[in-house]
Amino acid sequence: MNKAKGKSVVDGKSFLRSAFAAEQEVLSVQLKLSSESITHDGVMGDVNEQHFIEVLRKYLPNRYAVDSAIVIDSNGATSDQIDIVIYDPQYTPTLLDQHDHRFIPAESVYAVFEVKPTINKNYLEYAAKKAESVRALERTSVPITHVAGKPIVKELFPILSGIVATTIDWVEGFSSEAFIQNNSALVDLQALDCGLSVTGGCFDVFEGELAVGPTNNSLAYFIFRLLQKLNSLGTVPAVDWNKYAMVMSEQDA
């Protein structure tokens, strides 16, 4: 019997915790390596984005795509560049793809995240403004035929937003009064729903109040909570492609 099998037999819950803690340590080492070996801040940021994107792609079901992108609506308005966008790849195409550059229709977006080296007041506010640039876009929703044959219109759900980083500046982490006050000040289109510090824990407000996760298994806790929240949102709305088409014909009207 190998070591992992032995642990799972003796204490399955302990086996799960230790296995996911090891995966978190791998991500922590990758982020540390980039911070200590890459001398250009922009390149380091891109590399760290990919580390987080790869982890999310690994654990999110295939119904969700994960990329860096700009979000666009049927009026041609665009968001800021977003580090991580979780979106629907099944019913909604990306637009005007050029290598790693793409526009994602606002209707297909489930969640957006900013990747930062740490979490502090300035970066929370920065992530909040990025979230606002996405949430301010117009989203359409047209009737789709239900399995029973009755057309229904999917109600628009709030787009989730968050921040992920290697560390957190507050010593007491997400339980500190400073974090709670600064995060509570971000409301409406700027509200942040969740966050992860690979070395300092995680938080979310998915159930209406602040929930703080463990430090040793913050990555797994964050992912499982996010999965549950994404499940609760259901499927994205059906895009009104006619509205996009009308923009194409307006110059000829």
For 117-130, the pLDDT digits (tens) are: 999 999 999 999 99
CA distances from 27 to 53, 154, 175, 214, 226 (A): 11, 37, 23, 16, 18
Please give the helix or strand (H or E) that residue 68 lies within, else none. Answer: strand 65-72
Query: Is 107 in the active site?
Result: no
Average pLDDT in the chain: 91
**Looking at the domain assignment, is residue 98 inside a domain?**
yes
**Looking at the domain assignment, is residue 1 inside a domain?**
no
Measured distance CA(190)–CA(179) in Å, rounded: 15
**Looking at the domain assignment, is residue 11 inside a domain?**
no
> For 91, phi and psi rounded to 5 degrees?
-105, -10
Q: How many domains does the chain have?
A: 1
The distance from CA 4 to its chain's CA centroid, rounded to whole angstroms, is 31
**Residues belonging to the chain:** 253
Query: Is 116 in the active site?
Result: yes
Write down the pLDDT at residue 232: 96
Write down the pLDDT at residue 9: 46
Write down the pLDDT at residue 252: 58
**Looking at the domain assignment, is residue 246 inside a domain?**
no
Q: Among 138-147, 197-206, 232-241, which stretch is predicted with the lowest mean pLDDT?
A: 138-147
Residue 4 in this model has a pLDDT that exceeds 80: no
**Looking at the domain assignment, is residue 96 inside a domain?**
yes
**Looking at the domain assignment, is residue 252 inside a domain?**
no
Find the domain containing 232 and state its range: 60-241
Identify the active-site residue in 83, 88, 107, 204: 83
Measured distance CA(129)–CA(67) in Å, rounded: 19
Residue 7 in this model has a pLDDT that exceeds 70: no
Residue 11 in this model has a pLDDT that exceeds 60: no
**Looking at the domain assignment, is residue 26 inside a domain?**
no
**Looking at the domain assignment, is residue 162 inside a domain?**
yes
Identify the active-site residue in 49, 88, 107, 116: 116
Query: Is 73 in the active site?
Result: no
Identify the active-site residue in 114, 130, 193, 204: 114
